[in-house]
Amino acid sequence: MPEIDRRHLLKAASATSVAGLTGLAGCLGGGGGDADSLSIGVVTDTSGPYAHLGNSVIRGIKLGLAQSLDADTEELADSNTVEGSGVTVEILTEDSGLAADTGRQKARKLVQSDEVDILQGSVSSSVAAAVQDVATNASTPMFIDTAAATSLTGENCNKYTFRTSQTTYQDALAGGKYAAENLGSNFYFVGADYSWGHDSVAQWKSVIEENGGSAAGESFVSPGTSNYTPYLQKADESGADSIVVALTGTDGIRFSRDLADFGTDFDATATGVTTVPWMQQVGTAATGFSAIPKYFWPFPDNSTNEWIIEQYSSQWNTVPSIFTSGAHAAGYAIGQGMQSAGSNDADPLIEEWHGMTIEKTARGDGAYTIRECNHQAEFPMYLGHFEETSGGSMDVEPVLDDTFEAQASIRPCGETGCSGIEL
Partner 1 sequence: MSYFERSNELFESVKTPYIGATLLALVAAFPLVANAIGGLPFLTSIAIEMMIFAVFAMSFNLLVGYTGYVSFGHTVFLGSGAYMTAILMKKFSVPFIAAAPAAVVGTGLFALVVGGIAFRRSGVYFAMITLGVAQVFYTLFQSWNYVGGDTGIIIDPPVVFGYEFNPFEPMGYYYLALATVVVTYLFTRYLVRSPFGHVLQAIRENEERARAVGYSVRTFKLAAFSVSGGLAAVAGVLYAAYFTQVAPGSTLYWTTTGDGLFMILIGGMGTLVGPIIGSVFVIGTQYALSTYLVDFIPEGAPTLIARLPERWPLLLGLLFMLTVLRFRSGIAGGLGFSRVRSIDDVLARVSGSAEPDEAAVKSDGGDEK
Partner 2 sequence: MTPLSVGLGDLATTFVNGVSYGMILVLVALGLSLVFGLMGVLNFAHGALFMLGGYIGLAVMELTGGGITGFVLALIIAPLVVAAIGAGLERTVYKPLYDTEPIYQLLLTFGLAVVIEEAVKYIWGAAPPGVPPRPAVFDGAVVFMGISLPYYRVFTILLGAAVVAGTALFLSRTRFGLIVRAGVYNTDRTATLGLNVERAFTAVFGLGAFIAALGGVVYIYRAIEPSVGASIILPAFIVVIVGGLGSFWGSVIAGLLIGIIWQFAAVYAPVPAGTVIFLVMIAVLLLRPQGILGEAEVEV
Residues contributing to the site for partner 1 (CB under 8 A)? 6, 10, 13-14, 17, 20-21, 23, 25, 46-47, 51, 78-79, 94-95, 98-102, 104-106, 108-109, 111-113, 124-126, 129-130, 133-134, 137-138, 149, 151, 193-198, 220, 222-223
Residue 230 has a CB neighbour count (10 Å cut-off) of 12
d(CA 285, CA 302): 30
> How many residues form the binding site for partner 2 (CB under 8 A)?
47
Residue 407 interacting entry, from partner 1, partner 2, none, C-beta within 5 to 8 Å by type: none
Residue 198 interacting entry, from partner 2, partner 1, none, C-beta within 5 to 8 Å by type: partner 1
Stretch binding partner 2 (CB under 8 A), from 111-119, 124-132, 252-260, 401-409: 252-260
Considering only residues 253, 291, 308, 322, which one is a binding residue for partner 2 as defined by CB under 8 A?
253
Shortest approach of partner 1 to residue 271 CB, angstroms?
16
Q: If we measure between CA atoms, which residue out of 219, 166, 191, 222 comes closest to residue 382?
A: 166
d(CA 67, CA 77): 14
What residues contact 296, with CB distance under 8 A and at least 6 apart?
Answer: 322, 382, 384, 398
d(CA 344, CA 226): 49
**What binding mask, one character per residue, do residues 212-241 give for partner 2 by CB under 8 A, x or -?**
-------xxxx-xxxx-xxxxxx-xx---x
Stretch binding partner 2 (CB under 8 A), from 33-41, 120-128, 198-206, 258-266: 258-266
Residue 262 interacting entry, from partner 2, partner 1, none, C-beta within 5 to 8 Å by type: partner 2
Nearer to partner 2, 74 or 237 (CB): 237
Q: If we measure between CA atoms, which residue out of 396, 381, 377, 367 comes closest to residue 299?
A: 381
User: β-pairing, 357-358 with 368-370?
Assistant: antiparallel
Residue 112 interacting entry, from partner 2, partner 1, none, C-beta within 5 to 8 Å by type: partner 1
Nearer to partner 2, 94 or 352 (CB): 94
Shortest approach of partner 2 to residue 232 CB, angstroms?
7
d(CA 379, CA 173): 12
Cα 363 from chain centre: 14
Shortest approach of partner 2 to residue 206 CB, angstroms?
22
**What binding mask, one character per residue, do residues 156-195 give for partner 2 by CB under 8 A, x or -?**
----------------------------xxx------x--
Residue 355 has a CB neighbour count (10 Å cut-off) of 12
Residue-wise DSSP of 390-412:
SSSSSSEEEEEEEEE-TGGGS--
Residue-wise DSSP of 321-367:
-TTHHHHHHHHHHHHHHHHHHTS--HHHHHHHHTTPEESS-TT-TT-
Q: What is the largest CA-CA distance in the chain?
A: 70
Map the footprint of partner 2 across residues 304-323, applying CB under 8 A.
none
d(CA 149, CA 272): 12
Residue 392 has a CB neighbour count (10 Å cut-off) of 9
Amino acid 36 reads D
Shortest approach of partner 1 to residue 142 CB, angstroms?
15
Q: Which residues bind partner 2 (CB under 8 A)?
A: 47-52, 184-186, 193, 219-222, 224-227, 229-234, 236-237, 241, 249-251, 253-254, 257, 261-267, 277-278, 280-281, 283-284, 395
